[in-house]
Structure 1
Amino acid sequence: MDNNQRLLQTTTDTGSLRPAELEVVYAISRMVAETIDIEESLDRIIRLARTVLIFDNVVLYLQSEHSSDPKDTLEPTFARAVGRGRSSVEEMVWGEKAAFEVYESGRIFIKEADSINDDEDRLSQHFYLGLPMLVSGEIIGALIFIRFGGPNFDKDQINLAEFIAAHVSQLLSHKQLVERIANLEAERRLVKLQDDFIAAVSHELNTPLGFIKGYTTTLLRDDTKWDDKTRNEFLQIIDEESDRLSELIGNLLDSSRLQSGNLHMDIQEQDIRSFLGSVVNRLRSHYEKLDITVKAPNPEERLKADTKRLNQVLDNLINNAAKYAPQSKPRIQFKANKKRLRISIEDEGPGISDEHLDSIFKRFYRVPENSTGVRGSGLGLFICEQIVQEHDGKIYAESKLGEGTTFHVEIPLLPLKTPKEETES
């Protein structure tokens, strides 16, 4: 039977292998069974194969996951030059035609050099051996061995190459299985996140809606008359819960837009004194009990900021301090150096244990021991982190149980302009 027309054989009789070849095949088998790193394993397989099978280049072609053009079906995913011509890798041939021949036919492909002449440059004499890569009975690519200047691949060498190709196929099968399991696990986590999201949103929406519906229904009852004081109390609760519902919906929308990158940020370059003046004046008018400290910055310092969104961050952190440490007087400090503006909000509340500090910025996460009797959606800190990251900054917390928590927001400052740059601008 002509070698070009042989059907793919993934298993052959090991009795045809020499002792040294058997040793290499068994070593490759163990490696495939124990592998974790596919790239490293391919490297080791090729190094082992080279000790018993002579070749100059080897290339693994696999199906492209992105191309719909049949001409671009295959792409080289692994290639090594291990023999003649290693110093001129860029000019080498890598067996693309042989790979397509194997892929389209599903058969072993052997091609001798078009001409064999002792006076001819050996690097121009190409001998190919191509073997199909099979996973779950389907061809997914080709493994191509290339020799420069001969000799031809004989029957025993082809037999050995089939063993090597079968083990590479097994390695690829293992890789696909690992990826499939990882994808299934990712899908499972996504479903759980979606379920948790729906449950959390439903709970948070139902709470204010329950108050609004309950008090509205009570006020509309025909069999009861309410005095003005009671009616106003009920209306006050309805008003507060409506505000809370509006805030929650706004947070949900902001959260979704931030994750998808669709939240509009009006980040403008401004000098730090103007920025701090605007922010501090607003804080003083909104929070009478807030202790504010500003370390005088260099008036030449500048930053890029969306003042409205950063005010949103500060509001959230200050309101958190008021909710979780109602007996404490929150403190906020603004301090700038040459590289960053640091804003620190400190309270003397119950504190947060270390096990929760890394999770408090996750969406819907709430510290269990601090949540009793305190209403919240678990969205505020998540939104804060997303906004700060949009400013190329960072936000983090330091805390001691029983002593309080300090949140730090750091926003990078722009490099100071040189006198020459100032003149040119």
Structure 2
Amino acid sequence: MLSGRRRVFSSSRPRKRSWFKEIDLVLWGIPLALSLLAGILIASTQRQADYADWYQHWLSAAVGLGLALLLARLPLDRLKTLLLPIYGLIVVSLIAVRLVGTSALGAQRWISIGGFHVQPSEFAKLAAILLLAGVLSRFPIERPIDLLRPSGVILIPWFLVFIQPDLGTSLVFGVVLLVMLFWAGMSLRWVVLLLSPLAAALLAGTLPLALLGWIPLMGWLAYRSLPWRWPGVALAVGIQGLFALLTPYLWAHGLKDYQRDRLVLFLDPSKDPLGGGYHLLQSKVGIGSGGLWGTGLMHGQLTKLQFIPEQHTDFIFSALGEETGYVGSMLVVVGFIALMGRLLQIAGKARTDFESLVVVGIGAMVMFQVVVNIFMTIGLGPVTGIPLPWMSYGRSAMLVNFIALGLCASVLRRSRSSQGGW
């Protein structure tokens, strides 16, 4: 498990600080700045539209900020008794999406509640992180069989999200699981073995001959790292072979047509410039047209003329690139990197393993979405439908991101108070 941390508690009564001094400028300032900037960019994308709801981005941020401030005052340990009920409620809501959900853009992901469309898959990510942190903090990963509990926690929401279908969000669950397992003390070799079937599937579809080297390599790694050597080798090699054999079937029947198009066209979007490759081509043109300094906020011509469909959601980074240029885009990227660094600091100083794992899970969730979204908009990855945190338009995603921020702030507050800060 996580290495033990010794705390030195001050015998004197902690001095209270002013409200302003309690605010962590990186943890709170960066998300708030991103939300404010995104509201302007969303307004820019709607200049020629028949509707204007960009202000709802700021309203969602304001509600989310209020929830975050409340959660920041709540010790995270008090949530432990609610982990299973929260998780169960989210699972029920994901099932309800399948039964009575609202469809849009070829997917059934929303539930209509009081006139508002709620996306349970966004809340499912946070619920899974909380329960997974509770499981890993109580049951350390010492044997391969210990992986069954955390894998089970992730498998249920992952499957329910995958069949919506929402391939992008389902990938978040897998990344969160691997990062939290590693942070909880699982060997890096085991992480590689867990990822190896995915690599085998990719090789089977792209470079089949490479499997002749990959499968024996994974067998050797299993022999060196698993407690039961030869059975482990047989299991590792068998799983690699199974995934390699199933790849053609899963490609043909496990994915929707538009999902296959997205995975193929990002390699060469010019094959279908007016269809599946249109988003990627126009996104790269928009970002490139911004040059070094950009055209200025609310002055992007490609953004104004709505050359990029759904630009205010998944492709908001293209509007950023056009209107703020390379400099503005890099400042946003640096801001996300700084936020991730701060989350790692908070996780490292957390008072309990549970709190540390929650922060790391949130960090993995946020940064994976950042990397995939930006790579998608600049043509280095397929279109997956993953939003850019605090910037893409979406009420559910905004609320979840701020709730996650409040949980991290709660951990920071507790770690500071234990050191005599608050």
TM-score per shorter chain, which class?
Answer: under 0.3
* Structure with larger RCO (C-alpha < 8 A, sep 6+): 2
Q: Judging by fraction of residues, say which structure has more strand.
A: 1
Q: Judging by fraction of residues, say which structure has more helix.
A: 2
Larger radius of gyration: 1
- Give TM-score scaled by structure 1 length: 0.24
- Give TM-score scaled by structure 2 length: 0.24
